[in-house]
Amino acid sequence: MFIILLGTAGAGKSTLAGELKSTMENTGANVAIVNFDPAAEKLPYDADVDVRDYVKIEDFFDKGLGPNGSLISAVDSLINYSDKIREEIDKINPDFTIIDTPGQLELFAYRVGGPLVLNSIIYNEKSVVIFLMDSIFFDNPANIVSILTLASSVNTRFRKPQINVVSKSDLLDKELIDEIIPRLHEDGYLESLLRESKDIDGYTLDLSLSLAKALYASGYFGHILPISIFNELSLRLLYGKIQEVLTESEDYKIYDNENNL
Ligand SMILES: Nc1nc2c(ncn2[C@@H]2O[C@H](COP(=O)(O)OP(=O)(O)OP(=O)(O)O)[C@@H](O)[C@H]2O)c(=O)[nH]1
Ligand SMILES: [Mg+2]
């Protein structure tokens, strides 16, 4: 079973990969981590499988590409090694494989290459996407709408069960954690926050209201889980949610963690 960590640059994916592995292993699970970032320099965990063994980002710089173009081409070229990467994972034979992806989210929200390579590694196994929304995006309701719109793009592209989490929740106010985030799934709540906000008006308000309405109308919202590497309980709740999703048979939806909190 595969757990794909996705999120904007610096959202905490690599750190979470290592911490989640420890949490899961403490309950007896056998967990492997795949580093899926060809441009990673230092990782906060020991990768069991590493795409840097297959592609070198420098080779793409040498072809005259810039840093972003190089990363995109490097990930695309991993399609040639997906069988080998899967063989490596199968040799380890873990209960769960965590895939730590690069923060160049365009690869997964808009382009074909990222999902294509990941799907060819995952093949017919069950998988779940954990989408990390950095707590910095929770500073005002318009930014919450923006990051949820991005989360919905990822969901449209991957068509996999997806758990949306707010990462680094230790940096958020108590009011956000206790009162605002738990209510975000309630139809119309985000719109009321937007209308009450003093910082948003005019066109930005109209656009944000329309996007928020569309997110509710499409049924996109599930409960959003705040997580922090400094809060072991939040990691255990995330693991519980992952287990629940991976043992359910539904094809693709946003998962609701109401019953787990
Ligand atoms: N306060 C706080 N900081 C965190 C948490 N998780 C990660 N960080 C910090 O956030 C920074 C970025 O973490 P990374 O794990 O490298 O983020 P990433 O998403 O892998 O970044 P890219 O691979 O560059 O996209 C590091 O300084 C981490 O120590 C958290 O739960 N709380
Ligand atoms: Mg990383």
173-194, pLDDT tens digit by residue?
999 999 999 999 999 999 999 9
Query: What is the C-alpha to C-alpha distance for residues 207 and 224, in angstroms, rounded to an integer?
Result: 22
Cβ(141) – ligand 1 distance below 6 Å: no
Please give the sequence-ordered ranges of beta strands (E in DSSP) within the chain, or none if there are none. Answer: 2-7, 31-35, 49-50, 96-100, 127-134, 162-167, 225-226
Task: Verify whether ligand 1 is closer than 6 Å to residue 168 (CB atom).
Answer: yes
Tens of pLDDT along 9-51?
999 999 999 999 999 999 999 999 999 999 999 999 999 999 9
Find the range with the poorest average confidence among 132-141, 156-165, 199-208, 241-250.
241-250
What's phi and psi for 118, nearest 5 deg?
-60, -45
What are the chain's domains? 2-185+221-260 (3.40.50.300)
242 in Cβ contact with 163 (< 8 Å): yes
The chain-wide mean pLDDT, for the chain, equals 92
User: Atom 1 of ligand 1 has which residue's CA nearest to it?
Assistant: 168
Decide whether any atom of ligand 1 lies within 6 Å of the 10 Cβ: yes
The pLDDT score that the predictor gives to residue 186 is 92
Starting from the CA of residue 169, give the closest ligand.
Answer: 1
80-94 average pLDDT score: 97
Q: Which residues contact 253 (CB under 8 A, 6 or more apart)?
A: 161, 222
CA 254 → CA 53, 96, 125, 240, distances in Å?
34, 20, 19, 15
- First-to-last CA distance in the chain? 24
Q: What percentage of the chain has pLDDT greater than the value 90?
A: 81
Scored b (16 or more CB within 10 A) or e, 249-260 reads eeeebbbbbeee
